[in-house]
Structure 1
Amino acid sequence: MGDRFEDLRTFVAVADAGGITSAAKALDVAKSAVSRRVSELEQRLGVKLVERTTRSFALTAAGRRYHVEAHDLLESLARLDATAGDVAPNERVRRLSLVAVQEAGPARVGAAVARFLDKHPGSPVDLTLLPQGASNPAAGDADVVIGGPGGKAPRSARRIAGTAMTVTASRGYLARSGRPKVPGDVAAHLGIISTMRSGVPAWMFRDGVTVVPQAALTTSDDAAALAAALAGAGLVCLPTDAVAGEIAAGRLEALFEDGMGEPPRLWLSNEGGTASATLADSLAASLTGTS
Structure 2
Amino acid sequence: MNPFEDMRLFCQVMESGSFTAAADQLGLSKQFVSRRLMQLEERLGVRLLNRSTRRLDVTPLGQSYYESALRLLSEVEQMEQGIAGQTTEPRGTIRLSAPLSFAVAHLGCLLPVFLQRYRDVTVEVDLSDRPVDLLGEGYDLALRIGVLEDSTLIARRLASIERVYCASPAYLAERGTPHKPEDLHTHDCLPYGHGRQVQWRFEGRGKSLNVNVTGRMRVNNGELLKDAAIAGMGITYLPTFIVGSALKDGRLVTVLDDFRPEPLTLSAVYPQHRQSSRPVQALIEFLRERLNQREEGSHYR
- How does the TM-score come out when normalised to structure 2? 0.66
- 1:167 partner SS: strand
Pick one of 5, 8, 16 that aligns with 2:12. Answer: 16
Distance 1:30 1:137 in 2: 22
The residue aligned with 1:67 is 73
Structure 2: gaps of 5 or more residues: 51-57, 296-301
- 2:215 partner SS: strand
Are residue 259 (structure 1) and residue 259 (structure 2) matched? yes
Structure 1: gaps of 5 or more residues: 41-47, 81-92
C-alpha displacement at 1:215, in angstroms? 0.7
- 1:194 partner SS: coil
C-alpha displacement at 1:216, in angstroms? 2.8
The residue aligned with 2:298 is none
**Residue 13 and residue 78 in structure 1: after superposition, are their counterparts in 2 closer, same or farther (change >3 A)?**
farther
Give the conservation status (yes or no) of the 8 Å contact 2:167–2:234. Answer: yes
C-alpha displacement at 1:151, in angstroms? 2.1
**Residue 61 and residue 195 in structure 1: after superposition, are their counterparts in 2 closer, same or farther (change >3 A)?**
closer
Distance 2:35 2:149 in 1: 36
Give the conservation status (yes or no) of the 8 Å contact 1:154–1:269. Answer: no
The residue aligned with 1:172 is 170
Give the conservation status (yes or no) of the 8 Å contact 1:95–1:124. Answer: yes
- 1:205 partner SS: strand
The residue aligned with 2:231 is 231
Are residue 278 (structure 1) and residue 287 (structure 2) matched? no
Q: Which moved more, 1:21-30 or 1:149-158?
A: 21-30
Give the conservation status (yes or no) of the 8 Å contact 1:96–1:276. Answer: yes
Q: Residues 1-291 of structure 1 correspond to what in structure 2 (within 5 A)?
A: 8-18=4-14, 22=19, 26=26, 27-28=28-29, 29=32, 31-33=34-36, 53-55=48-50, 56=58, 57-58=62-63, 59=65, 61-71=67-77, 94-100=92-98, 105-107=102-104, 110=107, 114=111, 116-117=114-115, 119-120=117-118, 122-131=120-129, 134=130, 137=133, 141=137, 142-146=139-143, 149=147, 151-154=149-152, 156-158=154-156, 163-195=161-193, 200-206=197-203, 207-264=207-264, 268-271=268-271, 272=274, 273-284=277-288
- How does the TM-score come out when normalised to structure 1? 0.68
Count residues in correspondence.
Answer: 262
- 1:217 partner SS: coil
Identity rate, percent: 20
C-alpha displacement at 1:125, in angstroms? 2.5
